[in-house]
Structure 1
């Protein structure tokens, strides 16, 4: 019995030893495989770090290039704005003695003499005598059929133009509502129409003047006007006038108001 028990124990121990050896071998194999995986992961991480470093350097380089391009773009915009203002000034100088009269219907077979007569009647309506010799040229701007095209009148000097504009403004101040300058005042047939007299502005200045008037409405500026081609804004009576040189002036004003 002892021999049999001893034999059984030896067989059992041998079996346990074999199982442990098998498990140990598998453990060693798994550890070796993990080591290989770890080496691969470390290698992969190194490649990733290298790629990240490369991408970061590329991003930094691109960011610097974008900053340079943005700076150059802003310089170009500033240069364009400067050129636009110079062109506007040149255009205004060539038309410094011109006025624009709007909302006066054309007569049948209208001639230059008819337009000259209308200018004289506008002057007479606001107590300003205008001689034909003081007018250099009169004509209507082109426009769509069926629309009332503005009349352009060029005087022999700026002083006469300014006198007429000032007289019209004073007349409108003393004659409110329907009494303001209109087609009845200058003897035009048909319904009463308000007549508007202002400096003639080139297209670029006209667009800027429109935007300035819209800005004045939105931000409750009481005055918006032009003098010798320059556009001005004034918040209230007695406030310092603001010279509107470009759209950037309006943007800066908007930022100052919103702050």
Structure 2
């Protein structure tokens, strides 16, 4: 226990000043073993904490590493899928381009065929019109074959020849009944006479009388002898 020593008290007759008490305490020496034990425990706790922290950090690193590896695997898988999709899209685009080109080619062919069809139809229409016009123009025409061409033959001479021919059929024909008369040259070398009458009735009458004449004279059908032309047989028919 600490010892306390108190100084002697002064009397009133002594010094008028009173001295403050002085306390001197004495304690026992510190326990070094206890301090060292506490320090050792503290160091042990610190190492344990550091080990736990290091272990925790290592686990975190392992988790991050594992997560990074998994993320990289997923990324590579995603990248592969994207590459496959891009490749498939490229193939689809290529197929679409090819199909589109084929479609365009088909449409061009259809347009071409349609144009040709319209052109052919237009040509057919023109041919029909020409044929109709020829029929209309031929309504008043006849073709006289097998009469040889005369020297210096003129339209008047041809008209006289036709008048002489139809007179055999009992038809009195005048110059004014003939609109036009001419010869044409055919591929077979013949040169028939084309007579265009003013009236279709005149042409029909000539053809009808010709048929009657040939029917009555089956053994001696109309020929050049009947018009005093002993050259070739003569036949009269409507121009096709």
Give me the TM-score of the superposition, normalised by structure 1. Answer: 0.48
Q: Please name the residue that 1:161 is paired with.
A: 203
Q: Runs of 5+ in structure 2 lacking a partner?
A: 1-82
What is the CA RMSD across the aligned residues, in angstroms?
3.5
Give the CA deviation at 1:87: 3.8
Decide whether aligned partners of structure 1 residues 47 and 99 sit closer, same or farther in structure 2, where only a CA change above 3 A counts.
same
Asked if 2 retains the 8 angstrom alpha-carbon contact of 1:104 and 1:148, the reply is no
| 2:165 pairs with one of 119, 122, 147 | 122
User: How far apart are the structure 2 equivalents of 1:195 and 1:127?
Assistant: 16
Q: How many positions carry a matched residue from both structures?
A: 158
User: How far apart are the structure 2 equivalents of 1:184 and 1:42?
Assistant: 99
Give the CA deviation at 1:173: 4.7
Q: Runs of 5+ in structure 1 lacking a partner?
A: 1-39, 200-208, 210-259
Give the CA deviation at 1:102: 1.9
Decide whether aligned partners of structure 1 residues 169 and 66 sit closer, same or farther in structure 2, where only a CA change above 3 A counts.
farther
Q: Please name the residue that 2:128 is paired with.
A: 85
| 1:186 pairs with one of 227, 236, 239 | 227
Give the CA deviation at 1:149: 1.7
User: How far apart are the structure 1 equivalents of 2:84 and 2:170?
Assistant: 96
Decide whether aligned partners of structure 1 residues 143 and 75 sit closer, same or farther in structure 2, where only a CA change above 3 A counts.
closer
| 1:141 pairs with one of 164, 167, 184 | 184
Give me the TM-score of the superposition, normalised by structure 2. Answer: 0.51
User: How far apart are the structure 1 equivalents of 2:89 and 2:215?
Assistant: 82
Asked if 2 retains the 8 angstrom alpha-carbon contact of 1:140 and 1:151, the reply is yes
Asked if 1 retains the 8 angstrom alpha-carbon contact of 2:147 and 2:224, the reply is yes
Q: Please name the residue that 2:118 is paired with.
A: 75
Decide whether aligned partners of structure 1 residues 41 and 182 sit closer, same or farther in structure 2, where only a CA change above 3 A counts.
farther
User: How far apart are the structure 2 equivalents of 1:193 and 1:68?
Assistant: 56
What does 1:36-75 correspond to in 2, within 5 Å? 50-75=93-118
Q: Please name the residue that 2:42 is paired with.
A: none
User: How far apart are the structure 1 equivalents of 2:184 and 2:238?
Assistant: 15
User: How far apart are the structure 2 equivalents of 1:60 and 1:180?
Assistant: 69
The more displaced of 103-112 and 123-132 is: 123-132
Higher share in strand: 1
User: How far apart are the structure 2 equivalents of 1:44 and 1:187?
Assistant: 98
Structure of higher CA gyration radius:
2
User: How far apart are the structure 2 equivalents of 1:107 and 1:83?
Assistant: 38
